[in-house]
Amino acid sequence: MRNFFEKTSWPFPGSKKETTEFGKAKRDISVCEKCGAAFWQKSWHRRLEDIPDYEKENTHSGICPACQMIADNRYEGEIIIENVPEEKKGEIENLIGNFSETAFREDPMDRIISIQTVAKGMLRVLTTENQMAQQLAKKIKKTFKGKVSLTHSRRESTLRAKIILP
Ligand SMILES: [Zn+2]
């Protein structure tokens, strides 16, 4: 299986969900120079400010897995929404925006990468995390009804959700 984060360089961990030590003292903190997220004590925090001052002796800078994924044009989750009525488009985009904020607050590696109109009545949403795409698809279905089908690709560790609105 392809290592999703093979391009991610030290001192960042091999996977954003990885819980094992990555070889350094636990006081070491990695700070993403793009988004400011900080890796400390086995998990990602939104900002360095979220970490107590006394722990900030050893900080390194780098790029976090989410920013690296975006820079490499990769994604783990894709949602295609079909049959989007023009008058509902703003409402759907708002729902996605709110979802994105909540997800980021809970885990700074969870991001909505983009929302694109790919054709008339068709939206494409990309996420950094596949479970996030699944949750968002459920939420859209619950609010706007429609039919959802999910396709997992184990090889590429991606999830594709297709929603056809009524
Ligand atoms: Zn980042």
- Reported as a single tens digit per residue, the pLDDT across 9-22 is 444 444 444 444 44
Residue 37 alpha carbon to ligand 1 centre in Å? 6
With cut-offs at 50, 70 and 90, classify the pLDDT of residue 28: confident
Kindly give the pairing relationship between strand 122-127 and strand 158-164: unpaired
**Given this model, what pLDDT does residue 125 score?**
97
How far apart CA 135 and CA 129 sit, in angstroms, is 10
For residue 13 the two structure tokens come to 């961990």
Residue 5 alpha carbon to ligand 1 centre in Å? 13
Residue 140 alpha carbon to ligand 1 centre in Å? 27
Model confidence pLDDT, tens digit, residues 48-106: 887 777 666 788 899 999 999 999 999 999 999 999 999 999 999 999 999 999 999 99
Residue 32 alpha carbon to ligand 1 centre in Å? 5
**Taking CA 92 as the corner, what is the angle to CA 101 and CA 110, rounded to the nearest 5 degrees?**
30
What is each CA distance from 41 to 38, 99, 105, 107, in whole angstroms? 10, 26, 18, 14
Of 40, 4, 2, give the one whose Cα is nearest residue 130: 4
Residue 15 alpha carbon to ligand 1 centre in Å? 13
**Given this model, what pLDDT does residue 75 score?**
96
Model confidence pLDDT, tens digit, residues 109-126: 999 999 999 999 999 999
Q: Is the pLDDT at 151 greater than 80, yes or no?
A: yes
In the predicted model, what is the mean pLDDT of residues 129-148?
Answer: 95
Domain 77-164 in this protein, CATH class: alpha beta
With cut-offs at 50, 70 and 90, classify the pLDDT of residue 41: confident
Residues of the chain with CATH 3.30.70: 77-164
How far apart CA 57 and CA 141 sit, in angstroms, is 47
Residue 64 alpha carbon to ligand 1 centre in Å? 4
Residue 6 alpha carbon to ligand 1 centre in Å? 16
Residue 96 alpha carbon to ligand 1 centre in Å? 20
Residue 44 alpha carbon to ligand 1 centre in Å? 10
For residue 45 the two structure tokens come to 């925090």
In the predicted model, what is the mean pLDDT of residues 127-132?
Answer: 95
**Given this model, what pLDDT does residue 107 score?**
94
Residue 55 alpha carbon to ligand 1 centre in Å? 20
Q: What is the pTM of this model?
A: 0.80
